[in-house]
Amino acid sequence: MLRRIRLAQLMMDKACRKFGRPIRIMEICGTHTVSIFRNAIRESIPPMLKILSGPGCSVCVTDTGLLEQIFSIAQRKDVILATRGDLLSVPVDSGRQKLMEIPSTIAVTSILEAIELAKIHQNKTVVFAAIGFGICVPGTAVAIEQAQREGVDNFCIISGLKEIVPAMKALLTEKNHQIDAFLCCGNMSAISGYDIYNPIMNEFNVPCLPTGFEPMQLIEGIAEICRQLIEGKASQCYDFAVSLTAEGNKIAQKYTADYFDVVDDYWRGFGKIEKSALRLKDKYDKFDAHKRFGIKRTTTEDVSGCRCGEVICGIIEPRQCDMYGKECTRQNPLGPCMASSEGACRTWQKYSRK
């Protein structure tokens, strides 16, 4: 293993010498954010290699408008809101309220548990907050199929499901972007296949490398990015994550296509991104909380002073936000990047020694 680490370091050093300026690699998966800090990857690579946290935390990229809508649904007396735990401590209403303070909010580990809740509580509507990227979408479709087949009519979802590639494209389309490469999520690519990054690599010649979360996968993945940067050509590589194929999981993709339409949607920090989100097809209206409760998808201003949007886009580091570590802490988060377990600000505060 030491030999592999040495080889990786040599490649990184070579890239730094060739470029003579900081090389910026953006990771776009919240689990990568945590793993990189937990394993001190930033401290293990040359200082000229900069790892930026991008829009990889699904809770963080969810705009305040949708968070407030989820909150207002959770407050209804006829509703039980089922959500993954990550959303519970995200503040809405300028940090004054959190979902965990609403008694009828229940944390679940899977949407399948939410369906079981609906079967038990037949006098309530169980709304599942479907916040996540492509990896979460096929499972959501399977759950909708089950609810329809079993006649669980008191179940629906509020969708904050998004696709990461349109956000990557939005970042690279910015005139003064400083992103040299993307470190992509190996697990998400197991569903989508690594072919989904081809449009980005072809159009922008920016390496997109899916890796797993183990330290060696990350170190060798970063070295492979350096190799591609030295060569000056972005190319497919899937040596650093398990179970990757070019085409991904076709059955999962069919579920996504059968149940969801791709629509424009709001992202924190970006505004509206074209064809970046997934909404249930019209024929599954009754399982769509927006339609069931007659709520129009709108967006609203973020908490005043919160710079989560700039953190998500890699424009600033968490410590450059005036509220970081002062008004906004892990104990009392004001922005989603501090509230979510995979948020950049929270991870910085938890692991960073600086």
Partner 1 sequence: MCLAVPARIVQITGDDAIVDAMGNQWPVRITLCPGVVCGQLVLIHAGFAIAAIDEERAREIWPLIAEIDEFNEEQTHNYKGNV
Going by C-alpha positions, the residue among 78, 233, 229, 71 that lies closest to residue 160 is 71
Tell me whether residue 258 or residue 301 sits nearer to partner 1 (CB atom). 258
Of 69, 83, 89, 217, the residue at the interface with partner 1 (CB under 8 A) is 217
Least gap, CB of 135 to partner 1 (angstroms): 5
Integer Cα distance of 268 and 308 in angstroms: 8
Site for partner 1 in 287-316 (CB under 8 A): none
Query: Using the rule CB under 8 A, which residue among 161, 165, 168, 190 binds partner 1?
Result: 190
Stretch of 70-78, 151-159, 243-251, 270-278 lying at the interface with partner 1 (CB under 8 A) = 243-251
Among 16, 27, 84, 344, binds partner 1 (CB under 8 A): 84
Q: For partner 1, give the closer residue by CB, 72 or 245.
A: 245
Angle (nearest 5°) at CA 293 between 290 and 296:
45
Nearer to partner 1, 104 or 249 (CB): 249
Tell me the per-residue interface mask from 35 to 74 with partner 1, x by CB under 8 A, - otherwise.
-----------------------x----------------
Q: Does 142 bind partner 1 (CB under 8 A)?
A: yes
Residue 270 makes contact with partner 1 by CB under 8 A: no
Q: Which of 252, 278, 289, 306 binds partner 1 (CB under 8 A)?
A: 252
Q: How many residues bind partner 1 (CB under 8 A)?
A: 38
Residue 5 binds partner 1 (CB under 8 A): no
**C-beta separation of 128 from 110 below 8 A:** no
Q: Under the rule (CB under 8 A), what is the footprint of partner 1? A: 29-31, 58, 84, 86, 109-113, 132-133, 135-136, 138-139, 142, 185, 187-188, 190-191, 212-214, 216-217, 239-240, 242-243, 249, 251-252, 255, 341-342
